[in-house]
Structure 1
Amino acid sequence: MGAVVAGFLARMPVLVLLAGLAAVMMLGPAAYASVTGYDAIARNFLYAALLTGIFCGLIGLAAQANPRSQRSREMLLLMLGVYGLLPMLLAVPFAESQPDTGYFNAWWEMVSSLTTTGASLYSADLLPMPLHLWRSMVGWMGGFFVLVAAVAILAPLRVGGFEIMSNPYGREEYRQHLPPSDSPRRPVLHLSDPRFEAQLADPASRLGRAALQIGPLYAGATLILWVGLLMLGDPSFIALTRAMGTLSTSGISPVLGSAGVASGIAGEMLVFLFLIPALSRRFWPGGSELRATDRLIADPELRMAAALVALVAVLLFLRHFLGAIETDRAAPADTTTMADIGRALSALWGGLFSALSYLTTTGWTSVAWADARAWSGLDAPGLILAGLALMGGGVATTAGGVKLLRVYALARHGQRELERIIHPHSVSGGGRIARRLRREGAYLAFIFFMLFAVSIALVVTLVSIHAIAFETATILSIAALTNAGPLASAIPLTPTFEGTAGIASAPWEGWSGLPDFTKAVLACAMVLGRIETLAVLALFSPDFWRR
């Protein structure tokens, strides 16, 4: 019986399987709404789960008659289908539970959650708890899909950051020596090359194997963080949504302001540890070709992340003393007390936590962030967080942004060019991986930077079609492309519109004051930032569609 079911599922289209999984997940909010007194919302989720399940079952039966194997290059289309079509199904129970908000806004909310952006049209205090749970679950599922798709789809096609470390000799060079000069070298095949089909057979099976490898670790880490936050004092529901938002880097929160008020700094320290896996793929199964070093302490992504987080926290901390020098020196000196020392340490921690949170594009705000802002005395410290979100976390992780490995490749290339100015005939060292990062890796990283800059310019232009201030359009575009939705609330924006999304909040509590055209543009920007520009451009290659 098990073999029959496995064979039936193997012949179903992957998108239909994912839709069926979404139908099963709808039962979670239905059960929670039932036990918390939201009977109408429970019925909406139950009926939506049944409708989606029946729909997927009928398509699955139809697919059994004429099963068709998917080609590897079609998996990029699958990713577009997941982010373009799946939110339409996920939005059905949300729209039915909030009938005055409209289906379009519910779809936008699901796109934001599934891409782990975490932007919302609704004030947290105006949504029922079952809908907050559904947003968190969709964001959690979106983070899991990113981890699976990275090694099952993007890695074989050498896109999504894997192109930087792609091996021109077809094996792990840091473990094996180069072949003799008389041995033929196997070149790297591009995704448009028809020979990819022979190497990447059965992509659906790759997705299944990757899901079985990553799933237990992903769910186990979420469970451990949930239990840890419970033990530190967070309410059970907030602890659950906070755990799912941390592992998926969606930053979805059911409360206004900081979600860690109950557990305090102790809870943030625990969350801080679970944000580290968003800095490097080596913490997750798969992606071994991204390991630039054998030793964890020498990992370039982790070292660069530690340097950036420490630099931002120290700058915010020392800014207080620099500002004190500018004050009137004739004023009498105050005696330092233990309260002042505690406030200083709290401000330092607020800078550390917020820097790592936005570097991983999660967007959690520390309970001590207000102290950090007041301590630094800067008018707009949120712009520093925007810069961190632009850099992003590790390649093939749930984090968005440009990615740390690309920044590292460009930095090493710049360092090498400065060395050549001083010593023109010098020979670069560091090993084969370092040389490849400085050469081909830096070249590909520069191309991605240019494409990312063009994407920002294009999105800002489209957003500015309506009467939106340029600064606001820029921050909204960066928040969408980097999948860091909470960034819009960390930087003061210019309120332009009235809230028009039903029970939605004031314009800059969420994103509800934007016109529908602007929302659609930003939703497309979220999908583009999640899949990355290089992968999307590959779909426009004529060789990609050639049989």
Structure 2
Amino acid sequence: MSLSTLRVLAFINGIFLITLAVSMLVPVGTLLVFERHQDINAFLWPSLITFVAGMGMMVQGKPQQTHLRPRDMYMLTVSSWLLVSLFAALPFVFSQHIGYTDAYFESMSGITATGATVLTGLDAMSPGILIWRSLLHWLGGIGFIGMAVAILPMLRIGGMRLFQTESSDRSDKVMPRSHMVAKYMVVAYVGLSAVAVLAFWLAGMGLFDAINHAMSAIATGGFSTSDASLGKWQQPAVHWVAVLVMILGSLPFVLYIAALRGNFRALLRDEQVRGFLVLLLGSWLMLTCWKWATTDLHWLDALRHVAVNVTSVMTTTGFAVGDYHLWGPFASMLFFYLGFVGGCSGSTAGGLKIFRFQVAYILLKANLKQLIHPRAVIKQQYNRHRLDEDIVRSILAFAFFYTITIAGLALAVAMCGVDWITALSGAAAMVSGVGPGMGEVIGPAGNYANLPELAKWILTIGMLLGRLEILTVLVLLFPAFWRH
């Protein structure tokens, strides 16, 4: 990698750090409103440190040559998420006086919208740190959307090219220029966030809680302002608003751009969106019938509890209403499976993404037909795109590495002395971006505070791998990447 390329990467990362430094002033303003002046320095000093670091990376000025090759984009993507998490951890150290391991775990969980936490006592915690956690979710959500739409398709990561902003059919083009795509994407993201704040507030939340939960829900993150998560609010309207916002955050933002330009049927025509909603509603129906039959809950209350928890797990958000792992083995196993699914490609949700399951079904059906009719030429299409061999190979490779990554991380966590349920469900929750795992330690009613430090670092790596679609990070480990 040439020196000029490193200068470009440093300059861009410097911009990210300065943006982060300015974002740290939001908690400062929040503390002023709540008259918690004693906590302000916990954000002013990190903001100053981050700003100086960002300026230091930009000191050479804007490089003349700013063209980056695909291999350079790998390095930019991974380095930016690592650096931002590195400095975003400082307010946790200054404010909560926790070790850097816990602080980095919390910041990585925030910026990757995973939602796993090591903090307790949220109900009495400083409003500055609460808004900072939610803001990290919000910034990470829009950052991942931009990466999924603009970078991952170009890097040929796991079939993401099926969702390029400019398809092979010129009439299907969403926007003429990439900067216009970014502009409309930000408008859609900010607009949905503002509507979510208003909806939570009208449903019965206080304004501060509404702002936090809106940022967390649209980013499908899961950080709350209470240890009881959404269970603190008993109003059904709050729970249904959360369900709606989580679903909106899990749909492709490229299709929101199409809707803003007048093509309102784009969302309904998309095979991925239809598949996601069918699976979600089917899971609601199945688990609601089971819970209504096995408990004394009214069917409307059973539907509401199921809708919140199932939507939260499937969209990899991490909110909870009660401990759903107490619902029995059937429910626990279903939740474990749904955590792998995730939302749609080009959304803020994590997981394998629904389109990969749909493509796998198409391939399975085609192979079965080929066995019955060996000489037949079987057409394979998905979402009006032809499934060529390159796309199929990339999807299979991603699914393989996804499984191996979870298995490897779980084994590494188990070597730290953690029980196998916690190790396996924790690794799966980190890579999928769900947040809560299974069992008493890291389940919906617990957190990750009591895990060994080494286990936390391993799971932190899992968050990064899962959020950046695994192969983006693994390619940096090959010696050939560093050779000219």
Q: In the alignment, what sits opposite 1:509?
A: 446
Report the residue type matching 2:364 in the other structure: G
Q: Distance in 1 between matches of 2:451 and 2:119?
A: 12
Q: Distance in 2 between matches of 1:447 and 1:475?
A: 22
Report the TM-score when normalising by structure 1.
Answer: 0.77
Residues 431 and 32 (structure 1), Cα distance of their counterparts in 2 relative to 1, 3 Å cut = closer
Q: In the alignment, what sits opposite 1:108?
A: 105
Once the two structures are TM-superposed, the CA of residue 102 in structure 1 deviates from its matched residue by 1.8
The size of the alignment, in residue pairs, is: 467
Does 2:313 correspond to 1:358? yes
Residues 507 and 406 (structure 1), Cα distance of their counterparts in 2 relative to 1, 3 Å cut = closer
Does 2:119 correspond to 1:122? yes
Q: Distance in 2 between matches of 1:345 and 1:58?
A: 57
Q: In the alignment, what sits opposite 1:523?
A: 460
Report the residue type matching 2:61 in the other structure: A
Q: In the alignment, what sits opposite 2:131?
A: 133
Once the two structures are TM-superposed, the CA of residue 534 in structure 1 deviates from its matched residue by 2.2
Report the residue type matching 1:270 in the other structure: V
Report the residue type matching 1:349 in the other structure: R
Once the two structures are TM-superposed, the CA of residue 434 in structure 1 deviates from its matched residue by 5.9
Report the residue type matching 2:476 in the other structure: L
1:349 to 297, 301, 304: 304
Residues 108 and 56 (structure 1), Cα distance of their counterparts in 2 relative to 1, 3 Å cut = same
Once the two structures are TM-superposed, the CA of residue 395 in structure 1 deviates from its matched residue by 1.3
Contact 1:507 1:513 in 2 (8 A): no
Alignment of 1:157-196 (within 5 A): 157-159=155-157, 161-164=159-162, 172-173=168-169, 175=171
Residues 384 and 51 (structure 1), Cα distance of their counterparts in 2 relative to 1, 3 Å cut = same
Contact 2:220 2:348 in 1 (8 A): yes
**Residue deviations 1:392-447 (CA, integer Å, cap 9, x gap):** 11112211111111110001111222333444444435758567348654443222
Unaligned 5+ segments in structure 1 are: 1-9, 177-204, 325-339, 496-505
Report the TM-score when normalising by structure 2.
Answer: 0.86
1:230 to 201, 219, 222: 201
Does 2:39 correspond to 1:29? no
Q: Distance in 1 between matches of 2:208 and 2:458?
A: 33
1:492 to 423, 439, 463: 439
Residues 231 and 209 (structure 1), Cα distance of their counterparts in 2 relative to 1, 3 Å cut = same
Q: In the alignment, what sits opposite 1:394?
A: 344
1:283 to 232, 252, 255: 255
Q: Distance in 2 between matches of 1:440 and 1:51?
A: 45
Q: Distance in 1 between matches of 2:100 and 2:291?
A: 48
Does 2:242 correspond to 1:271? yes
Q: Distance in 2 between matches of 1:53 and 1:301?
A: 41
Residues 122 and 21 (structure 1), Cα distance of their counterparts in 2 relative to 1, 3 Å cut = same
Once the two structures are TM-superposed, the CA of residue 304 in structure 1 deviates from its matched residue by 1.8
Q: Distance in 2 between matches of 1:139 and 1:385?
A: 23
Alignment of 1:452-491 (within 5 A): 452-485=402-435, 487-488=436-437, 491=438
Contact 1:362 1:399 in 2 (8 A): yes
Q: Distance in 1 between matches of 2:44 and 2:185?
A: 28
Contact 1:279 1:360 in 2 (8 A): no
Structure 1 or 2: more helix by fraction: 2
Report the residue type matching 1:513 in the other structure: N
Q: In the alignment, what sits opposite 2:5?
A: none
2:83 to 66, 73, 85: 85
Does 2:470 correspond to 1:539? no
Contact 2:149 2:164 in 1 (8 A): no
Report the residue type matching 1:85 in the other structure: L
Once the two structures are TM-superposed, the CA of residue 162 in structure 1 deviates from its matched residue by 1.4
Q: Distance in 2 between matches of 1:459 and 1:317?
A: 33
Contact 1:459 1:477 in 2 (8 A): yes
Once the two structures are TM-superposed, the CA of residue 18 in structure 1 deviates from its matched residue by 0.8
RMSD: 3.3
Q: Distance in 2 between matches of 1:477 and 1:373?
A: 17
Q: In the alignment, what sits opposite 1:332?
A: none
Residues 15 and 320 (structure 1), Cα distance of their counterparts in 2 relative to 1, 3 Å cut = closer
Q: In the alignment, what sits opposite 1:299?
A: 270
Report the 3-state secondary structure (helix = DSSP H, G, I; strand = E; otherwise coil) of the residue aligned with 1:310.
Answer: helix
Contact 2:115 2:433 in 1 (8 A): yes
Q: In the alignment, what sits opposite 2:353?
A: 403
Q: In the alignment, what sits opposite 2:95?
A: 97
